[in-house]
Structure 1
Amino acid sequence: MMPATSKVPASRPHRFQARSLPIAEWPAADRDAWIAACRPSQRLVRGGAGAHMKPITLSDLARRYGYFLDFLDRSGLFDRRRPAAGNVTPENVAGYLNELQTRVSSVTVYGSIYKLRRASELLDPHSEFFWLTEIEKDLALMMRPRSKADRFVLSEVLVENGLTLMAEADHSTTCSDLAKARQFRNGLMVAMLALHPIRLKNFAGLEIGRNFVNIEGRWWIILGAAETKEKRPDERRLDDMLAPMLEKYLSNYLDVLAQESESNALWLSSADGHPMTYSAVADAIKRTTSTAIGVGVSSHMFRTAAASSAAVHAGHNPYLASALLHHRDPRVTEEHYNRASSLSAAKKFARIIRRDRDC
């Protein structure tokens, strides 16, 4: 007998905590199909349908599919006897979509359905999900990205606050050694990401001696083509402004954070000394900027800040931001230049107002 279908009450999304159903709790058909799809390629042996994808991408798709299964489980729509991706039906997706629209932004709604479709195609490559693609297209037309105005900070402000946090930690006489090390690490993260706005997955995964190396007394971030989204090598020398702070971090604070653990990771957790995860680095950066600046700046907003600062201070060099962010197409940064132009105009207007008041 098929499980009874029931609508989720409109008020329910406000009373529950959505979770992503772990792969271990997926129906057997889904679980087996996902493992097969993620099977890496080997010599003379073709991998699964997702073998060409990066682990972080596969993990994200599995997480989004897990949210869909969780909705079905809570709604009494979950049929564990169906084949792989068999629960991805127009009726089930319609219910899931209705719930999403009551609790998340239009951008997240679109992303959730888009990634549900991609995960479904990996689970069942032989089925057609064109109807899901049509839903995506409709959602894309309705997307209204949240304004970044309340989170917009120029790079020089981020660098200055990062340097201040490190100086305060270094001169503190009241904090414990571990608290000082944590604050110094967070300040270095903020200043370093502001000056070198690489993508967070690369920033969080920096390892001393592998992709963060000392060459003739200078520290370099060296990312191979396989590590970057653009599939091109990315090499950046650490700015001289940060060199003494990095040396102090490596010599005075890294061992404090490491405690008894051994790792080459640049960013270590103050809780157990293990390498910080992608999420932990993102959370630390956002919490730190929220405390120091009053604005919780996400790691991605550091890239927005870099493009906008380049436009404000070097508008004569239109491709600076594209090079800084490692974009292939300079048009990607156009929106940042438009925002920066507005900022520059506002500053000029304010100077005119002050001058007129002084007359």
Structure 2
Amino acid sequence: MSLILPLDEWPAQDQEMWLNLQAGGGPIDDCGALSHLRATSLKTLELRYARWLQWLITSDANAITLPPARRATLPRLSAWLRDLSHTRPMTRLMFIDGVLRILSAADPTQDWSAQRRLKAGLKRTAGRGDRDRKLGRVLSSEVLFRAGLILATGHAEAAPTSLRRMMCLRDGTMIAMLALMPMRRRAFAGLRIGISLHVTADTLTVALPGDLTKSGQPWEAVVPQSVEPLLRRYVNEVRPYFLERGQQQHDVLWVGKTGLPFKENALGPELLIKRLS
């Protein structure tokens, strides 16, 4: 049996609640409390809530007859957490957070203080667990920046061919830039000269629209001075080399050795780490 209840099998009152939370506003109607979220965020919340509903049906079926917000009592949420004890603390936190986010948005007048204290306790536990889980696997930005700099300088200078030198310069620049300017893979792969990367004689500026940021808000930052010389060399020397080699012409910043834009999945952490080895 699936752990997630499909949306079309949700109780009618839950389906109506979910639709209302997402509803866009009209001339005389208010927007739903979650209508500002992007589709990916809404889908994530939907799946977490769907798991809650499936657990209720399996473990506490009588609760389904209650209004959605009244089901999420502290004893019932605690029982769900006990059944989730095989999962990581962060996973349990995400499930509880998703359910409470939906229900508190649907019924903001209800007293959610006890449930929020429960979530705060989960957050403290998850915070401690995350540090241990990631110990030794997460590199600091300083380490990554230094590695990118070495790749773009020492390794590039020692490269046996022009092509290999240009690839080292490009890869080192990408790693160094990401170390100091973290951004989503889709945003990084989609940087375009004159649109999301603005080049002037004095500065290089990254400007991302809201649909490319986690918060949904536009983001703008000047490229740090420690990365600027690498990025300028890439823009002025390396990128034109690849474009000419592949007879390409476009405004996408990051390109492969044939001048074609990098695909998003070509910039995953595994591939970037491979470039450092």
Same fold, judged at TM 0.5 (above): yes
1:245 to 234, 237, 242: 234
Tell me by how many angstroms 1:102 deviates.
1.5
CA distance in 2, matches of 1:265, 1:46: 39
1:330 is matched with none
Does the alignment pair 1:138 with 2:125?
Answer: no
Deviations 1:158-201 (A, max 9, x none): 235446389579745xxxxxxx99x9987654332113235678
Tell me by how many angstroms 1:117 deviates.
0.6
Tell me by how many angstroms 1:95 deviates.
3.8
1:236 is matched with 222
2:176 is matched with 191
1:220 to 201, 205, 215: 205
**What TM-score do you get using the length of structure 2 for normalisation?**
0.62
AA aligned to 1:39 is A
> Where does structure 1 lack aligned partners over 5 or more consecutive residues?
1-15, 173-179, 295-359
Contact kept, 8 Å, 1:158 with 1:194, in 2: the verdict is yes
Task: Determine what percentage of the aligned residue pairs are the same residue.
Answer: 23
Pair 236,20 (structure 1): closer, same or farther in 2 beyond 3 Å: farther
Deviations 1:9-38 (A, max 9, x none): xxxxxxx9x876665564443333223212
AA aligned to 1:222 is A
> Where does structure 2 lack aligned partners over 5 or more consecutive residues?
none
2:102 is matched with 119
Contact kept, 8 Å, 1:30 with 1:123, in 2: the verdict is no
Give the total of aligned pairs. 258
Tell me by how many angstroms 1:59 deviates.
4.4
Contact kept, 8 Å, 1:110 with 1:136, in 2: the verdict is yes
1:177 is matched with none
Contact kept, 8 Å, 2:171 with 2:275, in 1: the verdict is no
2:139 is matched with 153
1:64 is matched with 48
AA aligned to 1:158 is L
Pair 132,235 (structure 1): closer, same or farther in 2 beyond 3 Å: same
Pair 55,171 (structure 1): closer, same or farther in 2 beyond 3 Å: same
- Superposed counterparts of 1:256-267, under 5 Å: none
SS in 1 for 2:230: coil
Pair 158,44 (structure 1): closer, same or farther in 2 beyond 3 Å: same
Pair 230,188 (structure 1): closer, same or farther in 2 beyond 3 Å: same
1:98 is matched with 82
- Superposed counterparts of 1:1-359, under 5 Å: 23=7, 26-41=10-25, 45-53=29-37, 57-69=41-53, 71-72=55-56, 75=58, 83-84=67-68, 88=72, 90=74, 92-104=76-88, 106-125=89-108, 127-143=110-126, 144=128, 145-147=130-132, 148-162=134-148, 164=151, 171=163, 189-198=174-183, 203=188, 206-215=191-200, 219-223=204-208, 229=215, 234-237=220-223, 239-246=228-235, 248-249=238-239, 252=242, 276=264, 284-285=268-269, 287-291=270-274
Tell me by how many angstroms 1:47 deviates.
0.8
AA aligned to 2:120 is K
Tell me by how many angstroms 1:236 deviates.
1.2
SS in 1 for 2:16: helix
SS in 1 for 2:84: helix
CA distance in 1, matches of 2:8, 2:252: 29
Tell me by how many angstroms 1:284 deviates.
0.6
Pair 202,116 (structure 1): closer, same or farther in 2 beyond 3 Å: farther
Tell me by how many angstroms 1:142 deviates.
3.8
Tell me by how many angstroms 1:221 deviates.
0.1
CA distance in 1, matches of 2:171, 2:102: 35
CA distance in 1, matches of 2:47, 2:254: 25
Tell me by how many angstroms 1:113 deviates.
1.4
CA distance in 1, matches of 2:67, 2:48: 19
Deviations 1:76-131 (A, max 9, x none): 65687765557645565334312332121x24423431232112223444544444
AA aligned to 2:222 is R
